[in-house]
Structure 1
Amino acid sequence: MSTSACYNVKRRSPELITPAKPTPYEYKLLSDIDDQQGLRLHLPVIQFYAKKESMMTKDVDPVDVIRVALAKTLVFYYPFAGRLREGAGGKLMVECNGEGVMFVEADADVALDHFGNPVMPPFPCSEQLLFDVPGSSGILHCPLLLTQVTRFKCGGFTLAVRLNHTMCDMGGFAQFMTALSDIARGADAPSVPPVWQRELLNARDSLRVTYTHHEYDEVISDQGPIIPPEILKTLEYRYIFFGPDEIRALRRFLPSNFTKCSTFEVVTASLWRCRTIALQIDPEEDVRLVCLVNARAAFDPPLPDGYYGNTCAFPVAIAKAKTIISHNSLEYAVKLIRKAKAEVTEEYMRSVADLMVMKNRPHFTTHNTFVVSSLTRTRYEDVHFGWGEAVYSGLLPGMASFYVPFKNKKGENGILVPICLPNFVINTFSRELDSMLQNNDEFVTQPTLPYIKSAL
């Protein structure tokens, strides 16, 4: 069946899954990293699982397995069963009241192969696989998790979860999902007990900003909506696979002493260049690249095992557009990315927490900003519920580009990268990237398109 065709999904009425045992009623404050404006959003994660004959023989239902495991897991992760409240000065806290997380049971009239071989995005009618239950999508006073399990007629299924990002980052969510899958397979408790202790990432008593945080620069263009409505309607997604051949092709544009630069750095620098060209940003304007960095390893003493709060930082590489699109730009862009990532220390994170309190938790700058993050080390594909590893695991489309591990039809391991751009420039982006991936030693001539003022 063509992946361009939609399909029918029958859903049962949404239900609230509450903890399997009584849990404490209390208020828990989020950290000053957790409750910044840039994290007050939902992250939609989806995992596809193939059928398993032994499970079908035993007539085991993934909906029942995950529903029961979710209730048991919430005994340990009981703040997820609560609701966010906002206190004085915009401070967020969880009312741990056991109201529960939203759960949707569904059946689709297609088989897993409807989504490709290998399974890969874009997924047709993905909103069918993660239904936006009316009244559930707010940040405050709404369920902190929305979960949907959709069975396919072949015996496979998807697990899609929408996460309130203020509660944890993708590393913390991987910890929760590992606990959920362990309990689904018979464990009595998570192998790593969850730790709250959000005060560990709070601002200091004596506030002091010790870094220049360009990621929170105030830009006049940021005063309106993050994505202007006229641009939002035109957005289109492309997914790009970077395997060994593609990485070698991109490395041709770097000097020999850059042989040790990471795949993330060379791919990100290349995408930043092509994106900047496609958007035809004024050459004299600043362009920013925000790398979401997991700062957990920066703390000394280390954060406790089991801490699942946000430990992500938003270091920014910044340059004039004309510098990023120049023919010798890749080496310079890689250096900027390396420098930005290297800034993330424990003191950097303390400085961010202090800045959040001093400036009322600002949103990171979105004007001319490209946001990227690598999920290649989170091991979501290892989370399984008795049906084996996920055949695909990643985020549903959003404005940021989250890199996920992927194996192509040839069996080559690489990364899959989503790109979101207006439909009237995405072909230009593709043409620029294709020119870098071909055997040409020169970039193609920069196209001439109308200068687009946008927040992308």
Structure 2
Amino acid sequence: MTTASLFARNPNLPSLSNSPTWAREALTPRDPPRITLPHPEYHDPNEGLTNPPLFSEAHFKHLVQNSYFFSKADLSTLKRKAHNAPTFDAVASCLWRARTKALGLEGDLRLLFPIDTRLRCSPPLPNGYYGTAVVFVCARVDANALCRPEGLANAARLISGAKREVDDEYRASVIDLLELRGRREFGREGVFVVSDQSRLAFAGVDFGWGRAVYAGAARAGTGPVPGMVTSIVGHNGGVVALVSLEREQVGAFEEAVREDLRPDAKL
């Protein structure tokens, strides 16, 4: 993105200080490939389902697109209630709880979110590497536990713990899983995907028209299951959560969010 913006502002640029590098061989499977860790983020056809399908493809066009802005004060409230958890962990926990309540989910739930491993693993990827180095991790909890008053803090703790599991071995195990089993779908039932785009520097990339007013996803709900994916985008000192729900679920979702944002709410 940065390289493209440099050429957009100066098409005759003779050279780059940091040339793009393909280097896909840096993320090849091991020989022999071996799956050394559990990966509940991917669909297991032998696993029993506890929740009915949330949406059919026919429902996709009926989903309502909503944007929820969390101000600095809102973020402080959530982080305090989540025992000083990082911003993403606190916001994702709030959204996870609200969606679970609005949809009336039961049983085993999974929150999936992407982690960029380019700075987490060693040896480091080559300078200028522009390919993906993202793996998905999974936090799991029972729906009843998530909806309890202490569920916000507990969910944030689970998310933080899942992030800490991402290391060299985790990434290698994911690559080997894809090598042995082929491209995998994420689990569908009881799954919620939250993509943290709040730290992507898209808004600061200048293609010759100055800084962007907004830079992020246009809508939520894309993916194999309509409504399953939510994006969190940085905006005006806070974050915006893009959420896709059926119209009759919106009121319950918003009330659940407001409940977690009330400073005097009991934990």
TM-score by length of 1: 0.53
Q: Are the counterparts in 1 of residues 43 and 187 from structure 2 also a CA contact under 8 Å?
A: yes
Secondary structure of 2:119 counterpart: helix
Which one-letter code corresponds to 1:300 in the other structure?
Answer: S
How many angstroms does 1:415 deviate by? 1.1
The answer as to whether partners of 1:293 and 1:373 remain within 8 angstroms in 2 is no
Alignment-derived partner of residue 431 in structure 1: 255
Residue 271 of structure 1 is matched in structure 2 by: 95
Q: Runs (4+) of structure 1 moved beyond 4 Å?
A: 219-222, 224-227
Matching of residue 417 in structure 1 with residue 237 in structure 2: no
Encode CA deviations 1:164-214: one digit per residue, 9 max, x unaligned: xxxxxxxxxxxxx21111112113344421111212111111121111111
- Answer yes or no: is 1:253 the counterpart of 2:77: no
One of 192, 196, 202 as aligned partner of 1:380:
202
2:170 counterpart of 1:344 = no
Decide which structure has greater helix share. 2
User: Could you say what secondary structure the match of 1:237 adopts?
Assistant: strand
Given candidates 163, 181, 189, the residue that maps to 1:359 is: 181
Whether 1:211 and 2:37 are equivalent positions in the alignment is yes
CA distance in 2, matches of 1:292, 1:390: 24
Aligned partner of 1:354: which letter?
A: D
Q: Write the mapping of 1:313-324 to structure 2, written as runs, cut at 5 A.
A: 313-324=135-146
State the one-letter code of the partner of 1:289.
L
Which residue, out of 229, 233, 252, partners 2:61?
233
1:181 aligns to what? 5
What amino acid maps onto 1:266 in structure 2?
A: A
| Equivalenced residues, count | 255
SS of aligned partner of 1:394: coil
Q: In structure 1, what is the equivalent of residue 154 of structure 2? A: 332
Which of 123, 126, 129 does residue 304 from structure 1 map onto?
126
Unaligned stretches of 5+ residues in structure 2: 222-228
CA shift for structure 1 position 227: 5.0
1:31-180 correspondence to structure 2 within 5 Å: 177-180=1-4
How far did residue 378 of structure 1 move? Answer: 2.0
Offset of 1:435 from its aligned partner? 2.1
**Larger RCO, structure (CA 8 Å, separation 6 or more):** 2
Q: CA RMSD in A?
A: 2.2
In structure 1, what is the Cα distance between the partners aligned to 2:188 and 2:16?
Answer: 38
**Looking at CA atoms only, which structure, 1 or 2, has the larger radius of gyration?**
1
SS of residue in 1 equivalent to 2:231 = strand
Gaps of 5+ in 1: 1-176, 408-412, 444-456
Query: Conserved in 2, the CA contact under 8 Å of 1:179 and 1:189?
Result: no
